[in-house]
Amino acid sequence: MHWGKAWPWISTVARLGLSAVFLVAGGLKITDLDESARAVNAYRLMDYDTAKVIGAIQPFLEIAVGLLLLIGLAVRLSAAIGALLLVVFIAGIISAWARGLQIDCGCFSKGGDLAAGRTAQYGWDIARDVGFLLLAGILLWKPRTRFSMDGLLMGER
């Protein structure tokens, strides 16, 4: 197999997959910004007012990254921002796990403290986010993708 010809397609799959991740995550949060703030606050890393601001900004940032990746505009920059977000998310989950908190990460749900008797699935959450981080890594390494605005701007067909 000639990898040179395959990479734009591999990167396209990574771009569209990562786009879907951020669009879904942001879309689920944007409908209830107060709940998003409570999910951020559940990590107990900052005061509630700061968590409220971050909880309000986060869904819009996730959707913006998702849309940029979807249309393939500024792919490397969008992937870098996405990777930074994922590293922050992973660090937050590790912090909650290390401190013995029992919370839902809030990645694709309302988040917050878990009901009595439920336990957090931190290992799964971290593994999933590392997988998403690998998609971002592919795009940082090989940002040229098919069906992208970047390609159109560079005269590719």
Phi and psi (nearest 5°) for 103?
A: -130, 160
Assigned domain for 79 exists: yes
Assigned domain for 42 exists: yes
Single pTM value for the model? 0.91
Average pLDDT over the chain reads 91
> Percent of the chain at pLDDT above 90?
75
Assigned domain for 153 exists: no
Assigned domain for 132 exists: yes
CB 9 within 8 A of CB 16: no
Which of 2, 22, 1, 11 has its CA nearest to residue 156? 11
CA pair distance 139, 40, nearest whole angstrom: 27
How confident is the model over 80-89, as pLDDT tens digits? Answer: 999 999 999 9
Report the pLDDT value the prediction gives residue 20, as an integer from 0 to 100: 98
Q: Which residues, 6+ apart, have CB-to-CB distance to 151 below 8 Å?
A: 72, 144, 145, 157
Q: How much is the average pLDDT of 122-133?
A: 96
Is residue 157's pLDDT more than 60?
no
Assigned domain for 152 exists: no
CB 120 within 8 A of CB 103: yes
Domain carrying residue 63: 10-143
In order, the DSSP letters of 3-17 are HHHHHHHHHHHHHHH
Report the pLDDT value the prediction gives residue 155, as an integer from 0 to 100: 67
Assigned domain for 23 exists: yes
How confident is the model over 66-102, as pLDDT tens digits? Answer: 999 999 999 999 999 999 999 999 999 999 999 999 9
Domain count of the chain? 1
- Angle, CA of 43, 48 and 51, to the nearest 5°: 60
CB 100 within 8 A of CB 114: no
Is residue 61's pLDDT more than 80?
yes
